[in-house]
Structure 1
Amino acid sequence: MAECNRQQTGVLLVVATPIGNLGDISARSLEALRSADLIAAEDTRHIARLLTHFSIRKPLESFHGDSTEGKLQRLVRQLLAGETIAYVSDAGTPTISDPGAALVWQAAQAGITISPIPGPSAVTTALSASGLNADRFLFLGYPPRKTGERTKFVATAIAQPWTVVMYEAPSRVTATLAALAAAAPDRTAVVAREMTKRFEQFLRGSLAELAGQVAADQPRGEFVIIVEAQAPTGTSQPDHTTVLAGAGKLLQAGMSAKSAADILSTLTGLSRNAAYEAVLQAARIRNAASTDTEGG
């Protein structure tokens, strides 16, 4: 493993770990952890459980949001002295909504080789199973706790022209969904919970529906919230008759229902679900007309 070879200066290994299921860890991640002289972790107690599971014994050093500048510089000095340090977050890919970016930046500025060991990420895992468009997306991390900042955060999230992804803690997910629903009740969204774990769950619906369901069920676990993009602005949505006519023309051109819905959504500003329903209705109308013609 090239990134673990001893050099004149050390190497900072940025190691992804499972987001829940320990079976998702890669062979390279295990090799990196076993080869490191030191493992720096956001929470040493959390990583200790993973290391014990895989029978890895290494010195541990905590590095989190409250770590001092002195600790950061000490880690950089150890790298400069030739040590290989593996940095891990609590779960998933490091430096995504965790404080590791400061260590990576300072090490890079000191001329240390930074070697990423890719693996699980809650962002991409949730997106892959959401069914929402992920050609372009914006990750916003955790919403602020303060009311004023949270209000601005919500306004930013619902105004985006692309899919938005955010994390949320179980103690605040109900409030966050309620705030999103108040701003855009009919917007399609997905709530992912406990991904890759025993009680993995994906909830799909409008923000209003999801806010009500989560408030009623009070589910536990870590959450990822995915919100569909805002419909294009600057143009008013056409009436239903015009939408159906457009859908019929797309189907008549030989497009599949999915392709027709994608184009209809882009042209009209309708959500993908609404566009797809319009396409299906247009297909039923065309089929009925065809049957009447044949019967006549």
Structure 2
Amino acid sequence: MGKLYIVPTPIGNLGDITLRALQVLKDSDYVAAEDTRQTLKLLNHFEIKKSLISYHQHNEQGKSLDLLSILKEGKNVALVSDAGTPGISDPGSVIIKKCIEENIDFEVLPGATAITTALVNSGLDTRGFLFKGFLPRENKERNPIISDIKNLKETLIFYEAPHRLLETLTFLSDGLGNRQIAVCRELTKLHEEIYRGTIEAAIEYFKNKAPRGEFVLVVNGKSEEEIEQENKAMWENFTIEQHIKNYIKEGLSKKEAIKKVAKDRGIQKSEVYKYSLEI
């Protein structure tokens, strides 16, 4: 039985390929590639000659079966995408699932990905993040996504093509508000650029500078200040008793609810406690 290797390739700078990735590419019997022309340039650069198999989003289902047959014959296959790690907004997940189902050995190599490169470059919170890849084109498909993530505190990461950048920035502004954003262009390449500012400022910037290259958008999560303001707007019309009950309904104990209400209203817990006796 052969082995499948998931091999990340540089997202721009060829010097970012790992020694291990090069060794796997040299040792594998076949290289399955999202774009054989692009991969051929990479292999030629490192003087590696291999038989290439086309494996992209339009033939992934059928080609996965072909790759399984090759692996069952005892041949090793290296899977690469155009850039970055296969399976991350690129073909790869289908063959991995089939290998798991068929109990065929596979190995994922660590390597380049635009997600973490952009996140660290952004200067935004790195303690938690949510990667959403490319947003759908139609509002009916992407509106529910924004509804699901707009209240999250985690930093949000999206991919985008140049011809859709302004439309997507406007959509994010409408759905998330004028948050801080880092627009990362052509990461690791000669013309790498990181624009940091608000979403509205980014829209104006790229109106005056035609977007070129591939983009990663890193957007600040919902701030504590925003959350506090929304909470305040919600409970301002509550009586103290209603305020306590609301927190209890959210799952807090009465003791915890009293503490939260006191903090929200800037009053003593003993004052709030008097209104909890009938609850």
- TM-score of the aligned structures, taking structure 2 as reference length: 0.79
- Once the two structures are superposed, what CA deviation does each residue of 1:219-260 show, in whole Å capped at 9, x if it has no partner? 200000001011246532899xxxxxxxxxxxxxxxxxxxxx
For 1:222, which of 214, 221, 224 is the aligned residue? 214
Per the alignment, residue 73 of structure 1 pairs with: 65
Per the alignment, residue 235 of structure 1 pairs with: 228
Cα distance in 1 for residues equivalent to 2:105 and 2:176 = 45
Over 3 Å counting, the alpha-carbon distance change for 1:234 and 1:117 in structure 2 is closer
Amino acid at match of 1:122: A
The question of whether the paired residues in 1 share the 8 Å contact of 2:181 and 2:197 is answered with yes
Q: How many aligned positions are there?
A: 233
Per the alignment, residue 29 of structure 1 pairs with: 21
- Once the two structures are superposed, what CA deviation does each residue of 1:163-221 show, in whole Å capped at 9, x if it has no partner? 00010011111100011122334211110000100100000111111122112211200
Give 1:1-296 correspondences, 5 Å limit.
Answer: 9-67=1-59, 69-232=61-224, 235-236=228-229
Per the alignment, residue 282 of structure 1 pairs with: none
CA RMSD of aligned residues (A): 2.0
User: Where in structure 1 are there 5+ consecutive unaligned residues?
Assistant: 1-8, 240-266, 269-296
The question of whether the paired residues in 2 share the 8 Å contact of 1:39 and 1:60 is answered with yes
- TM-score of the aligned structures, taking structure 1 as reference length: 0.74
The question of whether the paired residues in 2 share the 8 Å contact of 1:182 and 1:208 is answered with no
Alignment identity in percent? 40
Per the alignment, residue 287 of structure 1 pairs with: none
- Once the two structures are superposed, what CA deviation does each residue of 1:17-71 show, in whole Å capped at 9, x if it has no partner? 1000001111001001011100001111111110111111100011111115332
The question of whether the paired residues in 1 share the 8 Å contact of 2:5 and 2:24 is answered with yes
Cα distance in 1 for residues equivalent to 2:29 and 2:47 = 16
Amino acid at match of 2:188: T
Which consecutive segments of 4 or more residues in structure 1 shift more than 6 A? Answer: none
Per the alignment, residue 292 of structure 1 pairs with: none
**Matched position secondary structure for 1:28:** helix
Worse-superposed segment, 211-220 or 193-202: 211-220
Worse-superposed segment, 211-220 or 52-61: 211-220
User: Where in structure 2 are there 5+ consecutive unaligned residues?
Assistant: 233-262, 265-279
